[in-house]
Amino acid sequence: MGGLPQEFVLKCNHGSGGNIICHDKDSLVIEDAEKKLKKWMEDDFGLERVEFSYEGIERKIICEKFINTEDGKPPKDYKIFCSYGEPKLLFVASDRYEGKTKFDYFTPDWEWIPVKNGHPNAGAVLPKPERLNDMLEYARKLSADFPLVRVDLYCEFNQIIFGELTFLHFGGVTPFDPPEYDRKFGDMFPIETKRKG
Report pLDDT digits (tens) over 71-127. 888 899 999 999 999 999 999 999 886 678 999 999 999 999 999 999 999 988 899
Q: Is residue 31 part of a domain?
A: yes
Partners of 21 in the beta sheet? Answer: 9
Q: Is residue 59 part of a domain?
A: yes
Question: Which pLDDT band, with edges at 50, 70 and 90, does 1 fall under?
Answer: low
Domain shared by 43 and 91, yes or no: no
Whose CA is closest to 155, among 125, 127, 135?
135
**Global pTM?**
0.87
Domain shared by 95 and 54, yes or no: no
Mean pLDDT of 4-17: 86
**Count of H helices and E strands in the chain?**
4, 9
Percent of the chain residues topping a pLDDT of 90: 62
| Predicted local confidence at residue 43, as pLDDT | 85
Q: Is residue 168 part of a domain?
A: yes
Q: Is residue 140 part of a domain?
A: yes
pLDDT at residue 197 greater than cutoff 60: no
Q: Where are the alpha helices (DSSP H) in the chain?
A: 30-42, 45-49, 132-142, 180-186
Q: What distance in Å separates the CA atoms of residue 126 and residue 22, rounded to the nearest whole number?
A: 27
CATH number of domain containing 102: 3.30.470
Report pLDDT digits (tens) over 134-166. 999 999 999 999 999 999 999 999 999 999 998
Question: Which pLDDT band, with edges at 50, 70 and 90, does 2 fall under?
Answer: low
Domain shared by 23 and 44, yes or no: yes
Partners of 92 in the beta sheet? Answer: 78, 104
| Predicted local confidence at residue 190, as pLDDT | 76
Q: What distance in Å separates the CA atoms of residue 182 and residue 50, rounded to the nearest whole number?
A: 20
Q: What distance in Å separates the CA atoms of residue 135 and residue 155, rounded to the nearest whole number?
A: 8
| Predicted local confidence at residue 87, as pLDDT | 98
Report pLDDT digits (tens) over 15-64. 777 888 999 999 999 999 999 999 988 888 777 777 777 777 888 999 99
Domain shared by 104 and 27, yes or no: no
Domain shared by 94 and 166, yes or no: yes
Q: What distance in Å separates the CA atoms of residue 71 and residue 155, rounded to the nearest whole number?
A: 12
Question: What residues make up the domain containing 16?
Answer: 8-65
Cβ–Cβ under 8 Å, residues 161 and 153:
yes
Q: What distance in Å separates the CA atoms of residue 36 and residue 32, rounded to the nearest whole number?
A: 6
Domain shared by 93 and 46, yes or no: no
Domain shared by 85 and 180, yes or no: yes
Q: How many domains are there within the chain?
A: 2
Report pLDDT digits (tens) over 107-118. 999 999 999 999
